[in-house]
Amino acid sequence: MLKTIVTVVAVSVLSLISACGDGSGTTVTTTTTTPVVQQTAEGIWNGTATPGGAVKMLVQADGKFYKFYGTTAPIGFATGTSLVDANNAFSYVTNDNGENISGKANILLSASASTFVANTTLNYTVSGGMLNTSPRVIALTYDSSYTSPFTLANLVGNYSGATVGQGSTFSIDANGNITGNAARYIEGGYETTGTCPITGTITPNASKRFATVSITGCSTDSVDGVGVALLVGSGVGQQIYIGSTTGKLKTLYGVKQ
């Protein structure tokens, strides 16, 4: 599946114009431009999509976002670039159709009609692409655990979980190595059922509650490539969400046993 991400950039400047004499009777005009710092909806956000299901989204300081969605376990993953303008309106445009059906390429989606309160709420409407019945309303609240990083020790264990109706089983050791089997995706009628062997590494962020991941698997129908991971809870029952940001944007989900 080909994924194309369109980055949205907005720049605002304040022009300050002043005039003064240079001693010769000539007026000299100078112009100074001051860039306005772009805002982002940085943080981890939890909520729902209507129609749809549960949504868990990471937005980094540069506006890059990673979104897991699905009614129970995450069945899909979307990524792109977002921004918050001077009026606190959140927006993004991406050609990934992860808001609806995984497996289709070049489906334009956009976010609009948004409200954003830093570290509190993020609401917006998704339209376009495969959403040809009605827009999808996303309502999210800020997760204060974002600034509480986890360590490798928090990750160590055996995990099992299901995506698209198929099970994954994998483990993470004390060095951050990932080994196991990831669920293959059933979509479009061309993928194979069952699982695919995976190996990889995971590295927690030093100051925020997410990790970077690199996984080698089956690039056509399971998680494969560079990605991110979110951790929910602790101990037995702890959940890990892994999404690959290259390749076909697949997910790996597991519950610690």
What are the tens digits of pLDDT across the range 69-101? Answer: 886 677 778 888 888 988 888 887 665 544 433
* pTM as predicted: 0.78
Q: Is the dihedral of CA 80, 51, 135, 184 positive or negative?
A: positive
Residue 119 in this model has a pLDDT that exceeds 50: yes
The residue-averaged pLDDT of 208-219 equals 92
Residues in CB range of 79: below 8 A, 6 or more apart: 5, 64, 65, 66, 67, 94, 96, 98, 243, 245, 249
Residue 159 in this model has a pLDDT that exceeds 60: yes
Closest CA to 198 of 222, 175, 165: 222
Distance CA 11, CA 54 (A): 33
What number does CATH give the domain 43-145?
2.40.128
**Exposure string (b/e) for 130-159, b if CB count within 10 Å is 16 or more?**
ebeeeebebebebbebbeebbebebbebeb
What is the reported pLDDT for 229? 96
What is the reported pLDDT for 13? 34
pLDDT digits over 11-52, tens only?
A: 333 333 344 455 555 555 555 554 545 588 999 999 998 887
DSSP string, the chain: -----PPP----EEEEEEEEE-SSS-EEEEEEEEEPPPB---EEEEEEEESS-EEEEEE-TTSEEEEEEESSS--EEEEEEEEE-TT--EEEEES--TTT-TT--S--EEEEEEEEETTTEEEEEEEETTEEEEEEEEEEEEEGGGGS---HHHH-EEEEEEETTEEEEEEE-TT-EEEEEEEPP--TTTSPSSEEEEEEEEEE-SSSS-EEEEEES-TTTS--EEEEEEEES-STT-EEEEEESSTT--EEEEEE-
- pLDDT confidence bin for 128, thresholds 50/70/90: low
Give domain limits for the chain.
43-145, 148-256
